[in-house]
Amino acid sequence: MSPLEIRKYPDPVLRRSSAAVEVEEFSDSLRNLIDNMLETMYIFKGVGLAAPQVGMLIQVATVDIGQGPISLINPQVIETEGGDIAEEGCLSIPDVYLEIKRGKKIAVTAINLKGKEIALEAEGLLARVIQHEIDHLKGVLILDRIPSLERQMIISKLKKSWKKKGGELM
In degrees and rounded to multiples of 5, residue 24 shows phi and psi of -65, -20
Catalytic residue among 5, 133, 150, 168: 133
Residue 51 touches Zn ion, criterion: CB under 5 A: no
Segment interacting with Zn ion (CB under 5 A) among 55-63, 71-79, 83-91, 120-128: 83-91
Closest residue to Zn ion: CB criterion: 90
Q: Which stretch, 7-15, 22-30, 89-97, 157-165, contacts Zn ion (CB under 5 A)?
A: 89-97
Is residue 57 within a helix (H) or strand (E), and if so which, with residue range?
none
CB nearer to Zn ion: pick between 63 and 111 = 63
In sequence order, the 6+-apart residues with CB closer than 8 A to the CB of 42 are 64
Is residue 38 close enough to count as binding Zn ion by CB under 5 A? no
CB closer to Zn ion out of 90 and 143:
90
- DSSP-assigned states of every residue in 81-143: EEEEEEEEEETTEEEEEEEEEEEEEEEEEEE-TTS-EEEEEEEHHHHHHHHHHHHHHTT--GG
Active site residue 133: yes
| Count of residues engaged in binding Zn ion, rule: CB under 5 A | 1
**Order of strands, sheet of 117-123, starting from the edge strand that comes earlier in the sequence:** 48-50, 60-63, 70-90, 93-111, 117-123
Min dist. Cβ of residue 37 to Zn ion (A): 13
Query: Using CA atoms, how far apart are residues 113 and 99, in angstroms rounded to an integer?
Result: 33
- Residue 130's nearest CA partner among 60, 82, 32, 83 is 60
Least CB distance from residue 144 to Zn ion, whole Å?
Answer: 11
Is 90 an interacting residue with respect to Zn ion (CB under 5 A)?
Answer: yes
Q: How far is the CB of 161 from Zn ion (least distance, A)?
A: 18
Residue ranges binding Zn ion (CB under 5 A):
90
Question: Catalytic residue positions?
Answer: 133
